[in-house]
Structure formats: structure tokens, C-alpha cells
Amino acid sequence: MSETINFKIDGQSVSVPKGTTVMQAAYQMKIKIPHFCWHPGLSVAGVCRFCLVKVEGRPKLEIACNLQASEGMEILTDTPEVKEAHKWALEFHLVNHPLDCPICDQAGECGLQNYYMEVGKYQSQMERPKVLKPKALDVGGDLVLDTERCILCSRCVRFEKEVTKSEALGIFDRGDHAIIGTYPGKKIEHKYTTNLVDICPVGAFTSKDFRFKQRVWFLKDKQSVCPGCSTGCSIDLFAKEQTGTYYRIKPREGESNGYWMCDTGRGMYRHLNIETRQRFHYVSKNGQKIDIDQKESLNQLASKIKEVGPEHVSLLVSAQYTNEEYEAFFDFFVGKLGVKKVYQWREPTEKLNDFDGILLRGDRNSNTHGLMATLKKYGVGNQKIGNEFDIAVSSAAKVVIALVPEIPATFPSLQSNLQTLVSLNFVSFWTVNSEIEKIKGAKHVVPVKGFSEKKGSFTNHFGKLGHLTSPFVSVIEGINCVASTTRKLSEYF
Amino acid sequence: MNSSNNSSIFSEKLKTVIEKELTRYETKRSAILPICHAIQDECGWVQEKHIDALEKEYSLNRIQVKEVLTFYKAYKQSEPKKFEIEFCDNIVCCMMGAKDAMAKIEELIEKQGVNSEFGLKGVPCLGVCDQAPAMLVNKDRHHKITNENVEKVLSRYSSTI
Amino acid sequence: MGNTSDKIKIITKYEGMPNSRSLDTYLSKGGYEGLKKSFSMQPAQIIEEVKASGLRGRGGAGFPTGLKWSFVPQNIQGPKYLICNNDEGEPGTFKDRYIAELSPHMIVEGMIIAAKAIGACKGYIYTRYEFFEEIKWLEAAIQEAYKAGFLGKNILGSGFDFDLDHYTGAGAYICGEETGLISSLEGKKGQPKLKPPFPAVSGYLGRPTVVNNTETFAAVPWIMINGAAAHKAIGTEKSAGTKLFSISGAIKRPGVYELPLGYSFERFLNDDCGGMIEGRSLKACIPGGASAPILTPEELKGLTMDYEAIAAKGSMLGSGAVMIIDDRMSMVELMKVIADFYHHESCGQCTPCREGTGWLANIMGGIYHKEGQKGDVDKLWTVAKAMEGRTICALSDAAAMPTKAITKKFGDELRAFIERGAGA
């Protein structure tokens, strides 16, 4: 058991393990100490000199980020001296900043702006010409770099060194001509570039994907879990609620991901937008597609199942749905109806055990482990992770209920698999995305909710639960998740 | 790229120096400054091709090399002229007439039409304030330079053009 | 070099001797005797002796040398390092160059003794790039010392091993700051490191490291031979020993002078240095390098040359670089030179320094080019004030202190210039 240190920040008692800095303690306690260069996921640089605090009994102000808490220490963060220091620290940061907020994507979530509201001098002292530096540089990945906006906090440089170990960024020259950049002509090539946008406390790094698309204050963000692979990074999902348009994903501090997420995961909002969503139930009769309402749709499916009998029904299940959905689904089909044939539907080209050493895993399904656990519980299917698509197809069940993979981007063979399934006797496609629309002749299609629209949980690679707690309202009217759809279906039995 | 020895852009002499420096200190990284000095001494300045070769042939990280080359002012950022005059323009040299002497040098360079051979810039204190004003012409240090004697001092160089 | 015949010579002992740099000359007057003496002592005894001698760091900060050595953990595994800071870059300072020119072996000897005291296995002399000749002399001295058995394995049969090498800087004032120097020696940009941890615990490559100024090392052999008490007896109570002063500017005999600390400034200026150049009068004096606050003739009256007396006047002894400013020097030009210098030399790491030095230079550039504004002098002071005590190293303070002093003491001259400029 490590030694505990008791000290105070602004009179508030704090207990932390020995070795904790004042900044770390304040961060845990949600006490705000202004800072730019400190980041909980990176080493301490101590260069922005913003986090100055008063240590009772010591003459000079000290930076909280490099100040180890010691027993009985009393830290003050809002004395007049500290406030004055903070004002000046901010003022120095603004000396050479272009103040181009009206055209900057960071506006609304910019450290400089936010702190200016809190501690600013409201009267800039700097009246001389500023240092000019290169702007709008494409430095690779999702990144656009404006070196004039940069405040040289070195977070990005440390990220490159410490997290991706790529050392693709440096700070060249010195003094107020110091400039951040890649090696001339080289680009950042790893799959974690957008983290640089997140950790950049100003608008020096902006995202090509998000650039100029939306003012951040029009967006609502909700806590979610990235469905892009089995790591299950904690995320915040940003959407404009009125139109149901999703704009971006950012990592949220979490057990499985720390502070980061990969660029691949950043794209996991795209399939949620209306253009690529399955919106209507339909059936095909004599090659003709007929839109029907949910009641009719489920009624027809129930009749079909009753007609062939559960022994001629099989379930083809992808690993991209929640534990709660699997539970309801198997409870009905296996538990109540007694369906025996259950097959895993996985990407045939997947490299299950791949791992990039940071976050991204070869298992591109959000809930492989949840599915396996449910299969085990109901004693059906193969107990080993593996694609059984071909077996499912050749088993020639009269009715197949297919839980289609939610995210086409994680499932390269989706189109060809769907093509194969459409040619079978009768497959009911339960799907989030509208990939099935590209193929004629699907016998039965049921739209279901995407991960952003439902509550529930995924079990990640480590067996930990990631919770979907705050769903956005779906813009698709009357849509249900797999669990509710199953319950509604059960009403016809 | 073929990284065998005979395709290196570095001369045999330079390669010997580089390889010696790489093992001279506790870490290879410490050799970056001395290696850059050696390349500059032989080639005038450290160019992109040298940085490429240092990474390919000796695994020196190009970002680290570039950071060093741009941080330290001893390293030239472009091809130097035959004679680079670095004139101290700090406190004591200024007080003892550095600005006048520099103006005189500019005038002389102009008059003699040797702009392409002579470069002139002000540099921080050279650490010989008792001999102010002081200047370096390449690696030669000259003391007590005034607008009276500067022509004579420079003629030593201009006569070799 | 200077007229110091009536004063004790510790570091300039070999002044005037032919081939003073050679090992033979050095040995002829007791060279490496201090080393032999120290090898008969325990490391802790050496440290105690240096502590008792009152020797303080001669680079500028004046931190007690023995105390600095005592911070190095004694009984730990792995290498410890010793570095000689010969990156003399403080404007006005040229004393360390003089030691390298006169007695490079004295530096080497001092380092070996220090290495023995702290248990260092490897040392470096880090010299600024522009000292082309001096670097050759230092490297030659190291080679000679190896040949004579003063360096390498089992020095003088003592069982103690110590290797010494030379490292050349590349044009960065900041490398005179000890942790900036360490970064540079590691092959990085010369950016100072965050403290704590201090170099004595985690320095070069994260190992315990002591960095001392050239002159500090050079004073050590004499202390070993003559004892702490003899050293303590020179100078004042708190400023013991002699100090090399680099004096320059509008005086008759500029140069390096070794003086006992506590020496009279007026005597130094008028007797030793022969007074002002004919026709020029004393306008001000910067007593300890560019970062030391400027002193007026009034403040110089009765001043003695020691850490405490100069500090009492609101300035500092610093590196002992005395710059005598005469009446022909415009304070606008002086302030601009100082502001430009620190702007050029800020490493760019800490925001208040990076932006503050640029800001000061920017304002001064405006004044100098006759675009000065009415409140500029006050603004210089205000910005400088905000730069103080806020950064990793002292460069920001070094820019702020002279700015505050000049704007305070010569503000009227600056304001008058601005008004004339605006009227022109």
C-alpha cells in the first residue's frame, strides 16, 4: 500500500498517493487550475507557466504540474498574486496569436478563448506587429496545421514521442520563431492523428474531417462507446440533435483507452446518418419491393416462422449488437421457440488477434465477448470465436434471421455476404445500415437502431462492460432496437 | 537506396569522423552536434541530403537532427559565402564602434563588388570584449576592428578571391 | 594581463610565463599537486574542505560549490558525471576563455579533484563553438593529462578511474544554463530541464551530474594545496577567495583581473584599469554581465566587488563581467542591444520568456526606429516585471532585470528620445 499524502487546495482537503502532483490531485478533484501544456496522459513539460499556484509559506509561485504534493501543504489558486500571474500568463500566450477566432474551428472549445473569459486582462497590451508563420499545412492523416495559432505547448510533440512513438513532429528554431512541424516534405503516418486535434489546446491542429463543417456550440455531445473494434474506447459522440446529423467522435477518458482513440474509430459516426440508414420495413413479392409498417412486417415474419417451424429456423448473428439485445433475442428464439441452429457471422478476412500496440484490435466487432457469453448461456452455437457464415448458408434453413453487422466500414465482405444471403429461401435482414438496398430481392428487411440510439452494453476485449447510457433520439420514426423488435415479434406467438 | 559504403555522399574522411563521434559519447544522439559541425566544416553547411544520409546510413533521427540544426545558430541554414563575417554587435562592441565598422564593411563589399564572396551579419558577444570590437571571418577571430583598420584586415581575404 | 602585482594570484598564477599552457610549465609551479593531495583524502573530506573554503560558483549564481557537490548521492550504483561549463556567453565575460588560454591544466586538475569528491566516472568540458583556438588548447591539455597518467584508469595508482572529454557547443547562450548545457550534451536542443529533479540527482542522461563553471574548477587545486582556511581568509566573510573580473568598455586597460573579492570598485577602475579613456566620462556600469542591473555613478561610489555589496545595490556580481559605459553610449541603443540579445537567445520553451523577450525587443525596435509610443517605457517595465520568476530557467529574469533597471534609472533619456522621434 503506497503512502498517502494529505494536503489542501483552497482549503479543500485532499488525500492522494505519494508522488501525486498538485495538478493531478486538482484534476481528480475537479478543481480548476488553468493550464495549456499539462495533459493527464502525457509527461510533464512545465512550459506554458500558466498553472502557477501559491504554496503557503514559500516565496515564489510554483507550477502545479511539477509540484509534488507533500504532507500538510496548503495550495492557493485564487489569491490576487496568483490571479495576476494567470492574467499575464494568458497575455503572453496571446502576444503572437493571430486572434482569428471567427474562422477557427477550435472556437468554442479553445483554451485561449475559455481562459480569456475567466482570467483575461480584457485589454491587450500588445500593439506591435506579430511574428508571422506558415498556415493551413497538410501534415498528414486528418490534420491541418496552423503554426501561427500554435502556442508551443508541446503536447503534440510529446504525444508523438510517448504514445505513437513515431516522433514525427518537432519544434524547430528557437525563441518566438520556434515553430512546430513535421520534417519538411514528410507527413504524420500513424492512425492516431486526430488525437492531436483533441489535445491541441488551441486551433493549431484542426481536423480535415470536421474543418469548417459546424460551429461546435450547435452540437450536442453524449457519452458513448466506440463500436469500431473490441477495445471499446469511451467516447463522446457529437450530433446536431434537430437534424439528427452526426459530426464527430472524440475520446473520453476511460479505463480501456486512457485518453485516446484511433482515427478509424473517429469515423464510426458516419453510418449513423440518415443517408446510409435502413429506414423502412419491406418485403419482396415476385421481385417487387413493398414497404410495409412494422406491425405488418413482424406479423408476416411470425407467420413465416410458424409456417416452417422452429427446427427450420436458423439465426445468423454478427457481433455488433449489445448484450441486452442478444439476451432478448436468444431468450425468445432459443429459450421460447427452441431454435437450435445459431451461427456466428464474422468478417472472413479478419485477423482476430491483431493489435497495433496502442488501441486498435483486429477484432473489429464491438461485442464479440458479449455474444460468446450469451451463446454459452443458452448452450447454442459454436463456443469458439469464428466465422460460420458458410455453414449457415449451406445448412439451408427455410428461414434465417440475420443480425446484419451494424458498421459496413468494419466488415469489408458485407456486400458479398448479403448477396449470398438474398439468394437463399427466406432471410429476414435486421439491419442498421441500408447496404441491403443495393441488392434487389431481399425477402424481408427490418430496420433497427444504431449504437447511438439505444441503451445497453458491450463486453470488450478485456471482458469489461462499456455502457451506452445516453442515447440520441433517432430521426427514423418508430425504429426499435433488436431487443424491442424481438419483444414485439414475440407478441405474435 | 543502396547504403553500402561506396555510395555514401560523405567523403571517406567525413565517414571516419562520423563513425568515431557515434561511439565517442554515452549515446549516439550526443554525436549529432559534433557530426553537424564536421559536415559543415567540410561541405559549408548541412543540407537535406546530409540529413537523409545520416538517417539512412547511421540511423540518426531526422527530426532530432533538424531540431538541432535550426536551434543552434552556428549551423548555417543556406550555402555560405566564401567568407562569412560575423561581427559582434553586443554591448561593448557597440560601444566601441561596431556599428560604424559594420557599415564600413558593407560599403567596402559594395565598392569592391565582392557581394557574392562576403557575407556579413551581427552575432552575440564573442567573449573578447577587452579587444572590442571583435569579429570572426570564418574561423579567424579579429580584434579591435575599427572603420580605419577594417579595410586592411579584409584585404587579406579579398586578395585571395 | 592586468596590473595585479600586489594581489594574490590563484588562477592567474601562470600569467607571464612562456608556454604557460604546457604541462611542463604547469608542473613547474605546483601543478597537479592539489590532485595528489586530494587523492590522500576521502571524498567526503574533499567536499568538506571545499565547503569550508567558502568557494562559490563563479559562473554567475554564486552557489556554494562544496554544498552543490554534497547533493550528489554517494552510495548509488551506476555512473555519475561531471561537467565543466565553459560555454562563456554572458555578454561582457571573457575570463574562462582567458583561463583556457593561460592554464588549461588548472581546469583539468580541478575537475579530477571534483570527480574524486563526487565519484564521477566521466567528465566533459563544454566550450562554446566560437572559441576555436581555446578548444584546441583544452583538447591538447586533456591529451597531455592522459599521457601523464592524470586521467584514465587507476589515476596515479590510486585505483580511481576518470575519463575526460571535450564537447563543443553550437551557438546558444542558453547552454550556459546548466540544464540547458546538459540537454545540449545529450545531443538535443539546449533547452533547460524542469527542476526538480536537480542535476545532482538526475542530470546528464538522468544520472547524478555536477556542472561547475570553468573558474570554479580552476580555484579547486589551490584550495587543496593551501587549505580551506587560507582561501576563506581571502576576500570578505561571505565572498571568499579571488575572482576573475573581465572588465571592458570605455577604459584605458580592459582585460581580465584577478582580485580578492571585496576589492574597491573605484580603485579597480581608476588604478588597475587606468580610468576612463581620455575625453570620456562614466555614465553607468554593468557590474556582472548583461543580465546584471545597471548601476549609476552615484551607486558605484564606495562600492566593493563582492556578491553581497553589489546585491545590496540591487544588482549582482554575476560572472564578474564589468562593462564601463561612457557618456557617448545612448541608453536607447544599450537597451535595444540587450533586448535583441535576449530575444535572439530565448530557447522558446517557456511562454513568458519566449513571448516576453520578443515583446521587449519589439517595443525597443519601435523606439529605436523612431516609432516609439508615449507609454512604451512604462510598458517595458511592466512586461519585464511580468517575466520575472515565472520560468524554468533564469533567462527570462536575465532579460527582465536589466530592462527594469534601465527603464527606471534612465527612463527620462528613453522618454526624451521617444518624444524627439515623434516630433521628427
Residues of chain A with CATH 3.10.20.740: 4-94
The CATH number of the domain covering residues in A277-490 = 3.40.50.740
Give the CATH class of A101-106+129-272. Answer: alpha beta
Alpha-carbon gap: B94 to the closest alpha carbon of chain C (Å): 8
Pairing of strands A220-225, A234-240: antiparallel
Q: Which chain A residue lies closest to B52 (C-alpha atoms)?
A: A183
* Fold for the domain defined by A4-94: Ubiquitin-like (UB roll) (3.10.20)
B124: nearest CB among C186, C254, C345: C345
Contact flag B127-C94 (C-beta cutoff 8 Å):
yes
User: Please, where are the H alpha helices in A284-440?
Assistant: 294-308, 323-330, 368-378, 389-394, 414-422
Per-residue confidence (pLDDT) for residue A109, from 0 to 100: 79
Per-residue confidence (pLDDT) for residue A256, from 0 to 100: 92
Give percent above pLDDT 90 in chain A: 82
Cβ–Cβ contact A202 with C under 8 A: no
Alpha-carbon gap: A170 to the closest alpha carbon of chain B (Å): 6
Give percent above pLDDT 70 in chain A: 98
Contact flag B130-C341 (C-beta cutoff 8 Å):
no
Least confident among A237-246, A421-430, B129-138: A237-246
Using CB atoms within 10 Å of the CB of residue B77, give its burial: 0 to 12 exposed, 13 to 18 middle, 19+ buried. Answer: exposed
Band (A212; pLDDT cuts 50, 70, 90): low
Alpha-carbon gap: C91 to the closest alpha carbon of chain B (Å): 5
Q: Is the pLDDT of residue A292 over 90?
A: yes
Alpha-carbon gap: B93 to the closest alpha carbon of chain C (Å): 8
- Domains of chain C (ranges, CATH numbers): 23-232 (3.40.50.11540), 242-326 (3.10.20.600), 331-423 (1.20.1440.230)
Contact C181, C83 (CB under 8 A): yes
SS3 A448: strand
Band (A475; pLDDT cuts 50, 70, 90): confident
- Number of A/B CB contacts below 8 angstroms equals 25
Contact flag C172-B95 (C-beta cutoff 8 Å):
no
Residues of chain A with CATH 3.30.70.20: 101-106+129-272
String of DSSP letters for A400-426: EEEE--S-GGG-TTHHHHHHHHHTSS-
Neighbours of chain C (3+ CB pairs under 8 A): A, B
Band (A121; pLDDT cuts 50, 70, 90): low
Distance CA B96, CA C91 (A): 14
B71: nearest CB among A169, A174, A183: A174
Arithmetic mean of pLDDT over chain A: 93
Contact flag B26-C122 (C-beta cutoff 8 Å):
yes
Distance CA B90, CA B123 (A): 8
**In the beta sheet, which residues pair with residue C322?**
C247
Least confident among A119-123, A206-210, C8-12, C48-52: A119-123
Contact flag B67-A174 (C-beta cutoff 8 Å):
no
Cβ–Cβ contact A167 with B under 8 A: yes
Alpha-carbon gap: C170 to the closest alpha carbon of chain B (Å): 5
Give the pLDDT confidence of B7-60 residue by residue, as tens digits.
Answer: 789 999 999 999 999 999 999 999 999 999 999 999 999 999 999 999 999 999
**In the beta sheet, which residues pair with residue A75?**
A9, A55
Q: CB within 8 A of A214, min separation 6: which ones?
A: A240, A247
Q: Which of B59, B63, B70 to mutate to test the interface with A (most CBs of A within 10 A)?
A: B63
A175: nearest CB among C196, C354, C389: C354
**In the beta sheet, which residues pair with residue A446?**
A430
Give the pLDDT confidence of A425-459 residue by residue, as tens digits.
Answer: 999 999 999 999 999 889 999 999 999 999 999 99
Give the pLDDT confidence of A133-144 residue by residue, as tens digits.
Answer: 888 889 998 899
Cβ–Cβ contact C60 with B under 8 A: no
Contact flag C188-B139 (C-beta cutoff 8 Å):
no
Contact flag A128-C362 (C-beta cutoff 8 Å):
yes
From chain A, pick out residues whose CB is under 8 angstroms from the CB of C358.
95-96, 131, 175-176
Contact flag A45-C366 (C-beta cutoff 8 Å):
no
Contact B46, B32 (CB under 8 A): no
Q: Which chain B residue lies closest to A160 (C-alpha atoms)?
A: B63
Distance CA C162, CA C78 (A): 14
Contact flag C93-B67 (C-beta cutoff 8 Å):
no
Peptide bond connecting C197 to the previous residue in cis, omega within 30 degrees of 0: yes
C255: nearest CB among B75, B127, B130: B130
Distance CA A280, CA A188 (A): 42
User: Please, where are the H alpha helices in A312-366?
Assistant: 323-330
Arithmetic mean of pLDDT over chain B: 93
Q: Which chain A residue lies closest to B67 (C-alpha atoms)?
A: A172
**3-class DSSP string for C396-411:** HHHHHHHHHHHHHHCH
The helix or strand, by DSSP H or E, that contains position C124, with its residue range, turns out to be strand C122-127
What's the rounded mean pLDDT across residues A318-326?
Answer: 98
Residues of chain A with CATH 3.40.50.740: 277-490
Give the pLDDT confidence of B70-88 residue by residue, as tens digits.
Answer: 999 999 999 999 999 999 9
User: Which regions in chain C score pLDDT beneath 50?
Assistant: 1-5, 423-424
Query: Checking phi first, is residue A242 left (phi over 0); if not, alpha (psi -120 to 50) or beta?
Result: alpha
Q: Which of A50, A54, A88 to mutate to test the interface with C (most CBs of C within 10 A)?
A: A88
Band (A111; pLDDT cuts 50, 70, 90): confident
